[in-house]
Amino acid sequence: MHLHRDLIVSTAVALLNEYGLADTTMRRVATTLSVAPGALYWHINNKQALIAAIADYIVGPVLDAPATDATELSRRLRQRLLAFRDGAEVVSAGLSQVDNPTWWRLVEHVEQSLAASVECAAVPESLRAAATALIHLTVGATTFEQSRGQLAAFAAAAPPAEPAEPADAALADAAEPATSELERAVAFIIRGLQSTTVEDYARK
Amino acid sequence: MHLHRDLIVSTAVALLNEYGLADTTMRRVATTLSVAPGALYWHINNKQALIAAIADYIVGPVLDAPATDATELSRRLRQRLLAFRDGAEVVSAGLSQVDNPTWWRLVEHVEQSLAASVECAAVPESLRAAATALIHLTVGATTFEQSRGQLAAFAAAAPPAEPAEPADAALADAAEPATSELERAVAFIIRGLQSTTVEDYARK
């Protein structure tokens, strides 16, 4: 088997979904691929680099899609985070790493979406602040939602004789309010940016 | 030694600051207190309940302070989260637990602050949505900030001959922009709520 970076990342993503972030270790990735841990380090330096690579994998499709309106972009990001176990936590940890290029690509993508969502041309500084706020809000809210969902599933799984359906049903029920809650939150940021823009415009 | 809940929680908080969230286990708390793990369970059911109790401990002083303006409240919450290792992550995990009373106390506290920060009377539904957004934003942004700071400290600690000062200085330098970044984000939510309110007001 030829060891390459994509194979390491896809293996790590599979382990993430099975074991969660804390137990997705470099050692476990190496064992799963039947290579010595040292063989990984040539491609990925350490656990932090692995987390950054998984975060890229999760966020990638959001960046590759054409820029859309900001509400839709937030919705897509949330969906990608929810599609992976501990997805919100991984992306938060990965994007927070200093000078992560994916962070800056995401900020620019959100800036474009926000610029298309407000009526007047926003000043660049406001646009940057609103884009950062939208990302922190989306990742923060989804971290709560995912943590709550995983805890509920864990609690439902605890009594051994219980069928699995109630937990799934509860998660499905919870999904809708969370979407609209996040959308309302994003709407505040867009309106806030809009009103900032209008004032800046009036000041000229 | 008489084992009681406050002692368990303060021991867990000390272990959190020393070892981080992943290594603050029920077993380690019991060992530190020189009791059998079973003795803890009478007071605190499991690790989830321990996380909720630590989150209460961190958020408590924010709730006990009189309601102030929303920007100041967000600033205080951020400061409390930053005062504990993995503080933002612990509070996110603790408050996300279904029907956590501290979550609802915090939502009400933020609602009061927001109501005092806007000019017109906001509709209760908008106030609730804006309060939720402010909490998710503050915790989400602080999770990024704390994760970045801890990674920077870790990276600075890696070369053994390096003095500790550069890392501390870098963290101190980073603190100021993060504050104003979060304040700008909160300002968008307040402006957004304000503009929602004005429209609702105009509609009457």
- In tens, the pLDDT along B38-54 reads 999 999 999 999 999 99
pLDDT at A121: 76
Backbone angles phi, psi at A84, to 5 degrees: -125, 140
Taking CA–CA distances from B86, the nearest residue in chain A reads: A93
Q: Which of B130, B143, B181 has its CB closest to that of A140? A: B143
What sign has the CA pseudo-torsion B55, B58, B60, B64? Answer: negative
Spell B144-178 as b/e; 16+ CB within 10 A means b.
Answer: bbbbbbbbbeeebeeeeeeeeeebeebbeeeeeeb
- Indicate the pLDDT class of residue B32, thresholds 50, 70 and 90: very high
Rounded to an integer, what distance in angstroms lies between the CA atom of residue B196 and that of residue B191? 9
Output the pLDDT for position A188: 94
Predicted pLDDT of residue A3: 84
User: What pLDDT, on a 0 to 100 scale, did the predictor assign at position A72?
Assistant: 94
Token pair for residue A76?
Answer: 């897509």
Residue A128 to chain B, least CA–CA distance (Å) = 10
Query: Contact B189/A193, CB-based, under 8 Å?
Result: no
E strand or H helix at A204: none
Q: B108, B132, B109, B106: which is closest to B192 by C-alpha?
A: B132
Instruction: Say if CB B110 and CB B126 are below 8 A apart.
Output: no
Helix axes A124-157, A101-117, angle to 10 degrees: 110
Residue B107: Cβ-neighbour burial (10 angstroms; 0-12, 13-18, 19+): middle
Instruction: Answer yes or no: is pLDDT of B172 > 70.
Output: no
Locate all alpha helices (DSSP H) within A101-123, ordered by sequence: 101-117
Percent of chain B's residues with pLDDT above 90? 66
| Chain A residues close to B194, C-beta within 8 Å | 195
pLDDT tens by residue, chain A, 204 residues: 678 999 999 999 999 999 999 999 999 999 999 999 899 999 999 999 999 999 999 999 999 988 788 999 999 999 999 999 999 999 999 999 988 999 999 999 999 999 988 887 778 889 999 999 999 999 999 999 999 988 777 667 665 444 444 444 444 444 556 778 899 999 999 999 988 876 665 655
Q: Is A188 close to B129, i.e. CB distance below 8 A?
A: yes
Q: State the pLDDT at residue A1.
A: 60
Interface test with B, best of A111, A117, A137 (most B CBs within 10 A): A137
Tally of CB atoms within 10 A around A17: 14
Mention every residue, 6+ apart, whose C-beta is less than 8 A from residue B48. A151, B97
**Between B154 and A102, whose confidence is greater?**
A102
- Interface mutation vs chain B, best among A24, A92, A144, A154, most B CBs within 10 Å: A144
Confidence of residue B166 (pLDDT cuts 50, 70, 90): very low
Q: For residue range B66-89, list pLDDT tens digits in order.
A: 878 899 999 999 999 999 999 999
| pLDDT-derived band at B163, boundaries 50, 70, 90 | very low
For residue B200, which amino acid is it?
D
Domains, chain A, with CATH or none: 1-45 (1.10.10.60), 61-203 (1.10.357)
Which alpha helices (DSSP H) does chain A contain, by range?
5-19, 26-32, 37-41, 47-64, 70-82, 87-95, 101-117, 124-157, 165-203
The reply to whether residue B194 touches residue A195, judged by beta carbons under 8 angstroms, is: yes
Please give the radius of gyration of chain B, using alpha carbons only, rounded to the nearest integer.
20
What CA–CA distance (Å, rounded) separates A165 from A196? 47
What lies within 8 Å, CB to CB, of A95 at 6+ separation is A55, A59, A102, A103, A106, A135, A139, B144
Chain B, residues 35-54, CB within 8 A of chain A, namely 48
Residue B158 near chain A (CB below 8 Å):
no
Q: Is A184 on the interface with B (CB under 8 A)?
A: yes
Among A173, A176, A152, residue whose Cα is nearest residue A164: A152
**What is chain B written as a DSSP string?**
----HHHHHHHHHHHHHHH-STT--HHHHHHHTTS-HHHHHTT--SHHHHHHHHHHHHHHHHHHSPP--HHHHHHHHHHHHHTSTTHHHHHHHHHTSTT-HHHHHHHHHHHHHHHHHSSSPPPHHHHHHHHHHHHHHHHHHHHHHHHHHHHHHHHHHSSTTS-SHHHHHHHHHHHHHHHHHHHHHHHHHHHHHHHHHHHHHHH-
Classify the complex by whether its ipTM is higher than 0.95, answering yes or no. no
